[in-house]
Amino acid sequence: MFNKIKNIPKEMAKLLIKIYQYFLSFDHSFWAKPEVLRVCVHYPSCSQYAYEAIDKFGIFKGGIMAIFRILRCTPLCKNRIDKVPDRFSIRANTKSEENIEK
């Protein structure tokens, strides 16, 4: 019982991200056409990264990871694969790029 109550903030944050993705995101929403124009330069998108990080690490650590991911997302950055790492880190996950290249 207590475990379900403890997960309410985490589930609410994930629900808010899904609502954002469905209605507002240029890459995920029902009106977007990512096959024609993909706006996000990273894979996965920042909102999907936030969803996965919060799901994996909880609302506090996952939220911190999501904030730093959004700060890394600038028009000057190159396209990159930056998946949620297995351990908590605020740095870009360069290991995911190495795995794809091999």
Rg of the chain over all Cα atoms, to the nearest angstrom: 15
Q: What is the pLDDT along the chain (102 residues), one digit of tens a residue?
A: 566 677 899 999 999 999 999 998 888 777 777 677 767 777 888 899 999 999 999 999 999 999 998 888 877 776 678 889 999 988 887 775 554 444
Q: Residue 81 forms beta bridges with which residues?
A: 43
**Has this prediction a pTM greater than 0.85?**
no
Per-residue pLDDT, 61: 95
Q: Are β-strands 42-43 and 80-81 bridged in parallel, bridged antiparallel, or unpaired?
A: parallel
Provide the domain count of the chain: 1
Q: What is d(CA 95, CA 102) in angstroms, rounded to the nearest whole number?
A: 11
Range of the domain at 85: 2-101
Q: What is d(CA 22, CA 18) in angstroms, rounded to the nearest whole number?
A: 6
Which H or E run includes 9? Answer: helix 8-23
